[in-house]
Structure 1
Amino acid sequence: MVRLTDEVKVGISDYKISHAPNHIITVGLGSCIGTIVYDDRTKIGGLSHIMLPDSTAFAGKREIKIAKFADLAIPAMVEELNVKNHIPTYRLKAKIVGGASMFGFNSDQSGLNVGQRNIEAVEAILRQLRIPIVAKHVGGNIGRTMIVDLNDFTTTVRMVNREIIQI
């Protein structure tokens, strides 16, 4: 049996780029953020599973994994879309999923709320790159799975014991 569509899986602190007719998926989005950056014309998109908002505290330590941090992962993924896939940034758009507060910290302890810090970091990076966020499903206190159909950019969000939604 020939599969016409592949399911491309993106792990934690990773990103992958794929094209239609594939689906690209990441699971385990608690405080992490799934960010899909997509071009309608070529039907190519990159999905990142970002774990932390900012790499600066880790500078000078040992070698860091670019895909782990919002400030490094998104620009690297966009650069790959630009250079390897010849997609100009002005054609890109994004959707983001995740950023939950998984550990029940008070909102007064914002330094501890990694989910909210991840949301803010991803939104800021996309704004700096001039990539519009066309939909998002973020915050709350429940984990998510994100599945993107690269044929039409339909993004399905699954949550445990909750309805499945599309953004």
Structure 2
Amino acid sequence: MDKIIVGIGEGKLAQGEQILVSYALGSCVGICLYDRARRLAGMAHVVLPCKKDSLNQDNAYKFADEGVRALIRLMTSHGADKRRLTAKLAGGAKMFETKNSKWEIGSRNTETVKRVLKEEGIRVAGEDIGKNYGRTITFYAENGQLRVRTVRHKEILL
């Protein structure tokens, strides 16, 4: 099985027997898109809700709003049909206590990802988001299954 690592602020594709893996999602959100007919999987690891939250603004995959759209474009450029895409999400945790909602990056990332997916007409087929712990995710191109692992909690299959 060919393992493709998706780092922070990256978006990548897998097909057939390949798998996508992203480590240590805290407040970041892992967006997994899947086209079942093509057995084509895409994953983005977004860090911030939108460009205005960052000084370095040149990487679309760093941002929830632009990262979702960039991943859709990447998938369709490789033969996916947008009408067949489904999404699975993980991450968006509240890693630190704060009194200022501006710093609730996990929930803001999640809200932005869900809003953009809705605008793009893509259904969320599964999610493991929020709480206060990090996650590692593995997305299988052969069947669209998302495996979510944490240190102290039971593994989840979506």
TM-score tier (shorter) = over 0.9
Paired residue type of 1:153: G
Match in the other structure for 2:42: 46
SS at 2:143 equivalent: coil
The 5 A counterparts of 1:62-73 are: 64-73=58-67
Decide which moves more: 49-58 or 124-133: 49-58
TM-score, reference length from structure 2: 0.95
The 5 A counterparts of 1:1-167 are: 5-58=1-54, 64-83=58-77, 85-106=78-99, 109-167=100-158
RMSD across aligned positions (CA): 1.3
The size of the alignment, in residue pairs, is 158
Paired residue type of 2:70: A
Which whole-Å CA distance do the structure 1 matches of 2:57 and 2:4 have between them? 26
Distance 1:41 1:31, change over 3 A: same
Q: Over alpha carbons, which structure has the higher Rg?
A: 1
Q: Hey, which bits of structure 1, 4+ residues long, moved more than 6 A?
A: none
Q: Name stretches of at least 5 consecutive residues in structure 1 with no aligned partner.
A: none
TM-score, reference length from structure 1: 0.90
Deviations 1:83-119 (A, max 9, x none): 2x1222101000000000001224xx32110000000
Q: Name stretches of at least 5 consecutive residues in structure 2 with no aligned partner.
A: none
Decide which moves more: 138-147 or 148-157: 148-157
